[in-house]
Chains A and B, each alone.
Chain A
């Protein structure tokens, strides 16, 4: 059988605050197959966001490994990790995190601007622009491309952030409480978009949330408590249960 698309194994991570060492993850691990939609739930401080950051190479684990298609990626060089973040992962955040100085269109194009050098970007700028416009049309924002983030509503900003996460054609979308800052109806719109992406484009999505109703829309729910995996619940057997989850040493 093929290796899972991404797997985090026996991750331990702690932060130092002053003289105290605060453990956040104590051996948590999870695995996602290609095309899977997983939600990670848990109370505040249970380490769900940290797990997501470690999987997305925004942070490195103290102990444990992150594997992408069976190859270890958490110990790569800084430059290689930057490249992977740009090419393989797409991020969505609770607070949208669009750059306030740029227009929506420029924000969406940003990952490709980072990917290409000045000259290769210059030769591809038309292509990049069309791509960004197409994505913005898909999320229903084609009429707001020239607006600054401060002129957009929360839902619009989050849809813009989704477009930005998708433009680099990532294999995995990592979403950190994407609906946490939105009202229920806007939140469900976002969820619809994510589900559509998952079903239509076979995009692998790992979503952190504390909202059970939102979490329940995923294929699989991973519950974290005190830095460990507490339970894993399958919503519907979309995928055959292979060795989807491996729980690290207790």
Chain B
């Protein structure tokens, strides 16, 4: 009983102990904040990578792909059908995109990865719908497509209207050129020389058009009636463009604000070049209409991927029915290893590579993991430093309390009793420090964006640049296990640091302690 009473009383009256509480608290709070932000970043990044990659990806090792998409899908279905929620075949080939900036007239050529997709199939294996601009509110807060609409390569009425307007502008400027009334020719007035010209006399043989005159048939065939095509009709190739491909950022020199300028909007035509599936490969170029832009949040994808309707891509490559990739979404991602194993066995060796999205992006993901681990080790050092602070302060307190320890022993307190006073004092400091640290850490994480705004205002420069990190807000994720481990670790260190001073206190000789003045 006296142990608890004294321990609490020491906690309340020794203000120097506050110093060690604060160091424990700061260490704990820092660890929680850093871990939450790192976990948030990792989680967001994994989400975005995962979003475009699907759970399991079967890739042909040749760019020309595998013939007969349906047969390949059947192989997959036979091998691991029970685990698969959805799958879609795609064609992935390198390509070039040519864009004309409407304002400057400048011509841009950029290297991209062309992915031929079936929009509905792709939307089933990944969150494509969440990435497409038409499903998101635009800057006026207007959403063009409701979340229940199917994902298609159809122009929205708005885009169609825009396209019509652009085309009619172009037509009008054409007409402007041709409508100029040519100046009336000036002829000399017929004068004296105007002698009536005798009508020429032609030797006109009687000729009849016969089918056996050696001319090709179509010349004689009746003209087919030309259908009146809509000049505003979209091209056969339709695209979803990665948002960053055709946009660029610039800083307004007057306001200092970062502006994003888009060179291409839905309804515009761009120029695509890819390779045909022949040997040797030849370039194949065509016009394509942009239907929509997407933003996955992974800069790597948004600046290099162009989604296109798969039938048209197969056609222009001269490879109807051939696919390069099968994207698979699993019912339960825990089965991924099993599915990969089965699929590797199902396909002829050397033809395809089968990977989970994680192993495809292993380098990036493991780099982030290593970074987190190192940060944790470094931050735990902070708490260890706090531990040494506790050690030093405790030795001081034991020296200060030497006389009291002597009194307690004279009154019959055992060595273990004295030791447990100081041990529980250490635990108390650890608990108070980590509780305060957990509180501050969680509050910091909760209001991290407000704090960021405040800091930016205070320092006059952006602490967290949304454009650089590509997040709207600082992502955070609090894992209760992590918080618990950090708190336990801090308490553990506080206890460890108090063991030595507590032992010293318990071994004090009562008479010598009492003589101590």
Contacts and interface: CB of A to CB of B under 8 A. Distances in A.
A65 to B, nearest CB: 19
Contact of B414 (A53, A82, A100): A82
A97 B13 CA distance: 18
A169 to B, nearest CB: 13
Interface residues of A, number: 35
A131 B213 CA distance: 141
Interface string A64-103: 0000000000000011001111110001010101111110
Interface string B383-422: 0000000000000000000011011111111110100000
Interface of A: 50, 53, 56, 58-59, 78-79, 82-87, 91, 93, 95, 97-102, 106, 110-111, 113-118, 121-122, 164, 168
B411 A91 contact: yes
B413 A106 contact: no
Nearest to A85: B412
A199 to B, nearest CB: 26
Interface of B: 1-2, 4-6, 9-10, 13, 403-404, 406-415, 417, 509-511, 514, 517
> Which 5 residue pairs across A and B have the least CB separation, nearest first?
A86-B412, A113-B2, A121-B1, A101-B9, A85-B412
A106 B415 CA distance: 21
B428 to A, nearest CB: 14
A52 to B, nearest CB: 10
Contacts of A93: 514
A113 B412 CA distance: 10
A78 B1 contact: no
B4 A118 contact: yes
Contacts of B511: 50, 53, 58-59
Contact of B407 (A50, A87, A97, A168): A97
A115 B412 contact: yes
Nearest to A84: B412
Given A58-B510, A59-B511, A99-B404, A111 B411 contact: yes
Contacts of A82: 409, 412-414
Nearest to B13: A101
Counting chain B CB atoms within 10 Å of each CB, which of A86, A113, A117, A122 scores highest? A113
Interface SS majority for chain B: helix
Given A53-B511, A59-B511, A97-B514, A86 B411 contact: yes
Contacts of A95: 517
Given A101-B9, A102-B9, A106-B5, A85 B410 contact: yes
A122 B2 CA distance: 11
Contacts of A79: 414
Contact of A110 (B411, B415, B510, B514): B411
Interface SS majority for chain A: helix
Contacts of A58: 409-410, 510-511, 514
Nearest to A83: B412
B417 to A, nearest CB: 7
Contacts of A164: 411
Nearest to B414: A82
A212 B10 CA distance: 41
Contacts of B404: 99-100
B483 to A, nearest CB: 30
A168 B2 CA distance: 15
Nearest to A54: B511
A114 B417 contact: yes
Contacts of A86: 411-412
Contacts of B517: 95
A106 B409 CA distance: 16
B235 to A, nearest CB: 85
B6 A97 contact: no
Contacts of B9: 101-102
A101 B15 CA distance: 13
A97 B510 contact: no
21 contacts: A50-B511, A59-B509, A82-B412, A82-B414, A83-B412, A85-B410, A87-B412, A93-B514, A95-B517, A97-B514, A99-B404, A99-B407, A99-B408, A100-B404, A101-B10, A101-B13, A113-B2, A114-B2, A114-B413, A118-B4, A121-B1
Contacts of B514: 58, 93, 97
Counting chain A CB atoms within 10 Å of each CB, which of B410, B411, B417, B509 scores highest? B411
Counting chain A CB atoms within 10 Å of each CB, which of B5, B403, B415, B417 scores highest? B5
A114 B10 contact: no
Contacts of A97: 403, 406-407, 410, 514
A94 to B, nearest CB: 10
A91 B511 CA distance: 12
A117 B411 contact: no
Nearest to B2: A113
A58 B131 CA distance: 80
Given A93-B514, A102-B9, A85 B1 contact: no
Contacts of A101: 6, 9-10, 13
B1 A118 contact: yes
A126 B5 CA distance: 16
B425 to A, nearest CB: 12
Nearest to A101: B9
Nearest to A161: B407
Contacts of A53: 511
B409 A116 contact: no
A171 B77 CA distance: 92
A116 B1 CA distance: 8
Given A58-B510, A58-B511, A101-B10, A91 B410 contact: yes
Contacts of A110: 2, 408, 411
Nearest to A99: B404
Contacts of A85: 409-412
A86 B417 CA distance: 13
Contacts of B13: 101
A82 B407 CA distance: 12
Nearest to A94: B514
A95 B406 CA distance: 13
Contacts of B1: 113, 116-118, 121-122
B6 to A, nearest CB: 7
Contacts of B410: 56, 58, 85, 91, 97
